Structure 1
Amino acid sequence: MTGRGFKRIEDKVCANVKIQPRLKIHIFLSAKYVSPKGKNIYEKHREYNYEKVKALYYNVKKEIETKETFEEQKRKERNKMTDSLRYDILKRDNYRCQICGVTAKEGAKLHVDHIKPIAKGGKTQPDNLQTLCDRCNLGKSDKF
């Protein structure tokens, strides 16, 4: 057998065999904190293998996607507050703050407020909306 014939057979055999390296990935993390006066020292050490890093990556990715979805839902919910709906709520509540009773005629700046805030799962529906003066609305914040 010539050198070329041997090379050709060798190439055929090697083409069918895929060489895949076996990797063992380990990540070592270390954090150290020394208090300003040097009296307290705190250290943490963590070790992660490839499977753990991969699982953490997918968990974080899922969390980010969930947060983006929730942010999108909040944005859509806020867009449902039309001028017409705002007017209907003000009219329903007789242009009066539902907490302190002050009216627009008395000089109060009135807001249409979500009783259960959108950030806490509230919807932009008439039964979740109320008229509040600016002072009561700011005092209420996101409480319900």
Structure 2
Amino acid sequence: MIEMVMENATDVRKEWSSVVDSVVHDKPKFIKRTRDRMWLSNLETMQEILDGYTFTAERFDEEDGSVTLSLNEIDLVENAPTEAAARRLLAYSIMDYASEYYENYQMYSKAPNRKGHVPYIFKALITDDAEKIGEGIVCRDGKN
């Protein structure tokens, strides 16, 4: 079925401006170049797809009164005096990791322990707002 909607890369290249306009204002495109297949979309479409992915964390109340958040999707942990501060730190850690992952995409996306991070990486990159990421982290009480 997807073959029916695939567009040839040569045609896309020739009509680049109209293809981009169509992707931005109409719908994503599936493109084929020899054996390579790709998808071109606007960021709003990608954000809608990634809305199904949520950052979740275990919340631990420490003996010193601080709060530790341990992200479930990616091995990141932050501790701060309050949950709000820990969320903020964790959000910045997510953004830093997303940037590092993207810079090393070829290696990280193939690593067995990291390839599952892909949707969360793109969610962080597209959201591009630590405050929104922090507010979106769903926290559950962990067991000390």
Question: If the TM-score is normalised by the length of the shorter chain, which range does it land in?
Answer: under 0.3
After TM superposition, the score normalised by the length of structure 1 is: 0.20
Instruction: Point out which structure has higher relative CO (alpha carbons under 8 A, 6+ apart).
Output: 2
Q: Which has the larger radius of gyration?
A: 1
